[in-house]
Amino acid sequence: MVTEPTVNRLLVATTNPGKFREIAELLGSLPIELVGLDKLGPAPPVTEDGTTFAQNAAKKAQHYAAWSGMWALGEDSGLEVDALGGAPGVYSARYAGPEANDAANNAKLVDALGDVPKDERQARFRCAMVLAAPDRLLAQTEGTVEGCIIDQPRGHNGFGYDPHFFVPELGCTTAELPRHRKNEISHRGQALRAMQQAIHALLTKRPAG
C-alpha cells in the first residue's frame, strides 16, 4: 500500500484490461511508471453516480488518489446514440445490467435500434480523463469520435461497442482498425494525447520523488 505521494508512479484507476492497455501504450513515453489498480491489492470501490463522463472520471481520480497517496488518472467513457436520447451514455458498461458483458450490451443496443433507419443511427464515443493528486485536481481532458451503429458486428480488435461502431470516413468499424490506428482517431486516444502533454508539463515543474 502506497502511503507517501510520489510522481514516480501514476495509478491508472481502471480494472478494464483493454482500457489499461490503451492508456499504457499512449502514456508509455512519459518518465513515470503506470500502475494498475490490481497491483495495489483490494481497492475500495467508487460509486459512479455522476451524470456526465467528466464527473465520474473526477470521482475515480480523487477517490483513488486519496486512497493510494499517488497521482491517479480517472477515466470514464462510453457511447452516446442520438436516436436513443444519448443512451447508453454513462451507463455504457452496464447497459444490459450490472453484471453485463460486452456481448449482452451490444445485443441490447442492436435491439433498441431495431426500428431506427440505418441513416438515423448517428453516435459518438466520448471520453473524459481527470488527473488528481491526493489533495487536488491537476488536469482534465476530453475526446470524441463520431460514427454510426450497425447491426452486424465487424472486426475482432478493440472491446466494448467497437464491433458495432462504424466510422464512415474510414469505411470500417473501430474493431477493424489496427490498435495503433484506433489510438490515432479514438476518443480515448484524443483525451490521452492531451493528458500526456498535461502530465509532461506537470512533471517538468517539480522534481520527481
Does the structure show a pLDDT above 70 at 61? yes
Task: Go through the chain and tell me how many residues it has.
Answer: 209
> Residue ranges per domain, the chain?
9-205
Mean pLDDT, residues 88-101 taken together = 94
Label the pairing between strands 33-36 and 71-81. Answer: unpaired
**Catalytic residue numbers?**
76
Give the CATH number of domain 9-205: 3.90.950.10
Mean pLDDT, residues 105-129 taken together = 97
**Residue 183: predicted pLDDT:** 87
Asked if 73 contacts 149 with a C-beta cutoff of 8 angstroms, the reply is no
Mean pLDDT, residues 165-174 taken together = 97
Share of the chain above pLDDT 90, in %: 72
180 falls in which pLDDT band (50, 70, 90)? confident
178 falls in which pLDDT band (50, 70, 90)? very high
For the entire predicted model, the pTM comes to 0.87
Of residues 205 and 65, which shows the higher confidence score? Answer: 65
